[in-house]
Amino acid sequence: MIFLTEYLWFNTENRREIVPITREVEQILQASGISEGFVLVSAMHITSGIIVNDDEHGLHQDIWEWLEGLAPAKPGYRHHRTGEDNADAHLKRILVHHQAMIPVTKGKLDLGPWERIFYLEADGQRRKRVVVKVMGE
């Protein structure tokens, strides 16, 4: 069994962004040399997540509108009493999850025809990381 761990670092220009990372995950997979197994992609910050979906601008806008409807950016969250202003980002992270497990088949990410991997940042503009852990043979 082979294991390889790499990190992707982000410092987004905007507070909220969806960043495509499929290419970077594929490069890490290729460096591992495995042909069968899994790749775990996990956001290592409490206001960011990993999503697997279509790379379509309108859908990305819809995702943000949906998240904003469920966890709106607004004053009044109890978390803000600590001096923070990002309670909505914590809630958005719960909705999108913090990680995804991607199967590897014949040395490639076994994604559906339109599936791509994204880092979702809900409270950016500072340095954060994602762990990519490849496991397999």
Overall pTM > 0.85? yes
Give the residue extent of every domain in the chain: 2-72+85-136
pLDDT for the residue numbered 10: 95
Average pLDDT, the chain: 97
Which pLDDT tens digit goes with each residue over 5-49?
Answer: 999 999 999 999 999 999 999 999 999 999 999 999 999 999 999
Which pLDDT tens digit goes with each residue over 52-105?
Answer: 999 999 999 999 999 999 999 999 999 999 999 999 999 999 999 999 999 999
Would strands 36-43 and 128-136 be described as parallel, antiparallel, or unpaired? antiparallel
Dihedral (Cα; 23, 4, 53, 49), 10-degree rounding: -110
Which band of pLDDT confidence, cut at 50, 70 and 90, is reported for residue 107? very high
| Cβ proximity of 110 and 1 under 8 Å | no
User: What residue has token string 């806008």?
Assistant: 61
Q: CATH number for 2-72+85-136: choose from 2.40.37.10, 3.40.630.30, 2.60.120.460, 1.10.10.1590.
A: 2.60.120.460
Which pLDDT tens digit goes with each residue over 36-48?
Answer: 999 999 999 999 9
pLDDT for the residue numbered 113: 96
